[in-house]
Amino acid sequence: MKIIDRHLFKEMVKFTLLALMSVVIIYLLIDLFEELTYFTTRKVGLWVILKYYFYSLPSAVTLLYPVSLILAVFVVYGQMTRHNEISAFKNSGIIVYRLFAPAIAVGLLTIIIYLIGNEFVTIPFNRHLSELRRYVIEKRTSPRSQKKEDVYRIDANLILWARELEKTDDGSQGTILRNFLLIKLDKNRRVVQRIDGETATYKGSNWVGIALKKREFDSTGKEIYTKLEKAELEALGSKAIEWSVPTRPVEEMTTSVLNKYINQMKATGENVAREEVEYHYRFSYSLIGLIVVLLGLPLSVKLRRGGVMFGLGLGLLFSFIYWGVIQTCRAFGTSHVITPAFAAWLPNLLFSAVAISFLFRVER
């Protein structure tokens, strides 16, 4: 069986790569034809177009590798069924499920490849692609600052609200709060200090406020009011980075950065359903390769009448239905119809149930 396992594993890898190369090339060519007007109106050179599709390649591979896997399953195992090799193995005492092991191993391998590739290849390439579109093709000027309105943050015993937060491109230096309110609480969550100000700027390692109105409250509730033209905001310390504007869309954040961003935003009470769906989806999508393999295996050995091409078409249909269910669930999760985690994992649960049902019927 080791020789058979190695042979089937090599065949699965070979046809998966061939199918992946074919569908990715077709996908990128279709995209090129659709984007020709976009490139020609902006007088984009050939080298830039090549860079554009080089940076697009990981996303295309991520999108289409499940399709290539199911195509490989139908080619390898469909041919075995067509030439009665499956029946020969069964007559020699080898159960069909044992023959599925190499394909399942390939499916399991794709989980690891996806998780590593998405984090270290796809996401960085998405950032490069976005920058290429904005600053090279569309010739936009790089923004000197990024702004966010109605900022609300809670951090331990501090509550901050600001009408506007602006972060300059030089990192945390020059971060500005406008029309802000800062409240400090004691261990019993009682207000002990309130500061209203027009602006606060992060300089060096501290915040400096302008036109401040400071109110302090003792244990009896008595108020001490102070008006200051300029003063350091010691309560804020060096919290410029934590309260700064996110510099990337969620699709361009690494998983660890995205998780940290979600936790920070949830602590302030902001709606982060879209970000949570994206976070859970990154893990759930890694299983799609394995699930489509499990879907394709029983179909490839059971559908004798239609042959390989019929099974192949049916497998592609399953892939596109799968993708449609994923997008529908993502929309439901983002709009709070279902929880973000359930929205990301529901397609896998549904199609895993279908795959298991098909697998149980193989030996019948």
How big is the chain, counted in residues?
Answer: 364
The domains found in the chain, sorted by start residue, are 2-139+276-360 (no CATH), 145-239 (2.60.450.10)
Please give the structure tokens belonging to residue 234: 């010691």
Task: Tell me 144's DSSP state.
Answer: S
Closest C-alpha to 71, from 284, 285, 300:
300
Please tell me the predicted confidence (pLDDT) of residue 239.
56
Burial of 219 (0-12, 13-18, 19+ CB in 10 A): exposed
Distance CA 301, CA 103 (A): 13
Q: Which of 100, 57, 27 is nearest to 355 (CA)?
A: 100
Rounded Cα distance between 139 and 60, Å, is: 25
Residue 210 phi, psi (nearest 5): -120, 140
- Asked if 70 contacts 297 with a C-beta cutoff of 8 angstroms, the reply is no
Alpha helix segments (H runs only) across 285-335: 288-302, 307-334
* CB neighbour list of residue 118: distance below 8 Å, 6 or more residues apart: 62, 282, 286
HSE at residue 142, side-chain half, CA atoms within 13 A, is: 9
Give Cβ neighbours of residue 337 (< 8 Å, ≥ 6 apart).
none
Q: What is the pLDDT at residue 283?
A: 95
pTM recorded for the entire structure: 0.79
Comparing CA positions, the residue from 166, 118, 120 lying closest to residue 143 is 166
Residue 183 phi/psi, 5-degree rounding, is: -120, 135
> CA 60 to CA 52: how far, in whole Å?
12
CA distance 226 to 213: 6
Non-local (6+) Cβ contacts of 304 within 8 A are 81, 82
Amino acid present at 66: P
Give residue 61's pLDDT: 96
Kindly give the parts of the chain with pLDDT less than 50: 172, 241, 306
What gap in Å lies between CA 89 and CA 96, rounded to an integer? 8
* CA angle in degrees (0–180, nearest 5) for 302-304-306: 120
Element (H, E) at 227: strand 223-232
Q: Is the dihedral of CA 335, 341, 345, 350 positive or negative?
A: negative
Asked if residue 259 lies in contact with residue 280, where contact means CB atoms within 8 angstroms, the answer is no
How many other β-carbons are positioned within 10 Å of the β-carbon of residue 211?
A: 12
Give 310's contacts (C-beta < 8 A, 6+ positions apart).
303
pLDDT given for residue 172 in this prediction: 47
